[in-house]
């Protein structure tokens, strides 16, 4: 704080009530410019006295005190000559009880008189017997302090089907890097929250699934870690369920959590398509004593729902960090692109007319589509009922192109079946069906 006089200021006193969040405040330094006097004491004077019996001096730290968080000067008031200034530097430590995004302010108040009140206790002039000195008060400009907020990011760690994509660069962080997923595929999400030094009372993370698209899997694969890359205690929780081996990790990101988040810390169920889980973490405190960041990392699985997704669909979701009911920060978006397999069948015959007893041949071709928004097809099956007037129906062994796994063909009576476990995009299966017309 700095005090400056544009005319002589008498009987100056200072009061600065520091914010409660400033712990162990001390006066670090006192500096001054110009001429400053300290009251020398006395019992009054007359209107002929021109200046108090005081000596010019340089104020120091011992002339000020901090009591119960209030900065004041000691019993003797100060007189600042015109142009003089006084600067105090107060040093304190922010309490670990500060919460993210908290904002608080501080002001100082000074009081002074136009004349020396200690010596001029009677009227000031013989011409005006009611003349008195004027008292002044000034409050400083606001010194604002803003506590760092949490930061949050959401990403995709893995998906269950390599057929869609296992490319780690497709982490869902942007629309261009949307992770391709198929209906029924399991997606593993990672929620990363950077926690500043301080406290988050009743911390909870709420997953913001779209109303349709994902179903949370509330199983033992929900994992959490408190990650710190510095000295100090790191992140701790008041929750008696959040302690034990594997919870605290001292290392830099990225880290894979191994501590199972107990089911008691997960609410919001029963979990169906679009249900938003809440992860309760208790009162969080980050007591790191350095500038290294600390993080809460949670990973969980969700299945791409079958009842609402049709290609092409973009599923965008986030999560929000709360302290009690106050939303502190909503994460970046996470993007998934829902793809579906598409399979077509063509059937052609080389015979257009026939007589009884002639043979008839059909060619069946099954094709897995190859568009960018389409995925490989699993468990492909085709059934073709052949008309009853054809007898002795046979089907050839499958001829394939592209990657086709376990292609099979068979005929039972007049029902032809063709199947495969897997067809990559653009793959084909071709069979020929032959029958004989009744005579």
Mean pLDDT of the chain: 85
Note the pLDDT tens digit of each residue in 327-341.
999 999 999 988 888
pLDDT > 90? residue 402? yes
* Average pLDDT rounded to a whole number, residues 72-99: 84
pLDDT over 90, % of the chain: 44
Whole-model pTM: value is 0.76
User: Do residues 290 and 232 make contact, with C-beta atoms less than 8 angstroms apart?
Assistant: yes
The tokens for 314 are 């973009």
Number of C-beta neighbours around residue 127 at 10 A: 8
Is residue 406 scored above 70 in pLDDT?
yes
pLDDT digits (tens, 9 = 90+) for 242-270: 988 999 888 777 788 999 999 999 999 99
Task: Report, as an integer, the average pLDDT of 125-146.
Answer: 74
Q: What is the mean pLDDT of residues 367-396?
A: 89
pLDDT at 91 over 80: yes
Name the nearest CA neighbour of 14 among 30, 237, 234.
Answer: 30
pLDDT band at 58 (very low <50, low <70, confident <90, very high): confident
Q: Residue 126: name the closest of 46, 29, 188, 245 by CA.
A: 46
Give the chain's domains with CATH numbers: 2-146 (2.60.40), 151-339 (2.60.40.740), 343-437 (2.60.40.740)
Structure tokens at 213: 């698209």
What pLDDT, on the 0 to 100 scale, is given for residue 42?
Answer: 41
- Which of 114-128, 235-249, 300-314, 402-416 is predicted least confidently? 114-128
Taking the C-alpha atoms of residue 264 and residue 250, their distance in angstroms, rounded to an integer, is: 26
Q: Looking at mean pLDDT, say which of 157-171, 257-271, 308-322, 381-395 comes out highest.
A: 257-271
Average the pLDDT over 24-40 and give the result. Answer: 85
Q: What is the structure's pLDDT at 63?
A: 87
Reply yes or no on whether the pLDDT at 50 is more than 70.
Answer: no
């Amino acid at each position: 704080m700095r005090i400056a006089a544009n005319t002589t200021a008498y009987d100056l006193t200072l009061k600065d009530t520091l914010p409660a969040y400033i712990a162990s405040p001390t006066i670090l330094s006192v500096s001054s410019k110009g001429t400053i006097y300290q009251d020398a004491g006395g019992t009054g004077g007359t209107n002929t006295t021109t200046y108090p019996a005081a000596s010019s001096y340089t104020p120091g730290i011992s002339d000020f005190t901090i009591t119960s968080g209030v900065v004041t000067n000691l019993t003797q008031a100060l007189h600042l000559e015109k142009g003089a200034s006084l600067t105090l530097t107060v040093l304190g430590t922010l309490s670990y009880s500060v919460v993210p995004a908290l904002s608080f302010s501080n002001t100082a108040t000074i009081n002074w008189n136009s004349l020396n009140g200690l010596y001029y206790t009677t009227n000031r002039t013989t011409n005006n017997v009611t003349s008195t000195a004027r008292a002044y008060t000034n409050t400083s400009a606001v010194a604002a302090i803003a506590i760092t907020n949490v930061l949050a990011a959401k990403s995709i760690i893995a998906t269950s089907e390599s057929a869609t994509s296992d490319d780690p660069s497709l982490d869902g962080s942007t629309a261009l890097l949307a992770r391709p997923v198929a209906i029924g595929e399991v997606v593993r999400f990672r929620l990363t929250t950077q926690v500043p030094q301080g406290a988050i009372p009743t911390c909870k993370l709420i997953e913001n699934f779209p109303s349709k698209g994902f179903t949370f899997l509330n199983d033992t694969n929900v994992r959490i870690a408190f990650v710190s890359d510095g000295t100090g205690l790191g992140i701790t929780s008041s929750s008696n369920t959040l302690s034990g081996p594997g919870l605290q990790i001292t290392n830099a990101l990225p880290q894979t959590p191994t501590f199972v988040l107990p089911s008691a810390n997960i609410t919001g169920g029963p979990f169906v398509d679009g249900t938003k889980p809440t992860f309760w973490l208790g009162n969080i405190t980050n007591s790191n004593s350095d500038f290294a960041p600390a993080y809460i990392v949670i990973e969980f699985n969700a299945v791409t729902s079958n009842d609402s997704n049709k290609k092409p669909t973009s599923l965008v979701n986030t999560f929000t960090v709360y302290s009690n009911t106050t939303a502190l920060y909503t994460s970046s978006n996470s993007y998934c692109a829902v793809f579906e397999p598409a399979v077509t069948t063509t059937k052609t015959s080389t015979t257009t007319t026939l007589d009884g007893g002639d043979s008839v041949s059909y060619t069946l071709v099954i094709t897995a589509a190859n568009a960018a928004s389409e995925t490989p097809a699993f468990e492909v099956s085709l059934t073709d009922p052949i008309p009853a007037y054809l007898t002795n129906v046979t089907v050839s062994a499958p001829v394939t192109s592209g990657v086709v796994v376990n292609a099979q063909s068979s005929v039972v009576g007049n029902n032809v079946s063709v199947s495969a476990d897997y067809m990559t995009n653009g793959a084909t299966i071709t069979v020929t069906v032959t029958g004989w017309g009744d005579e």
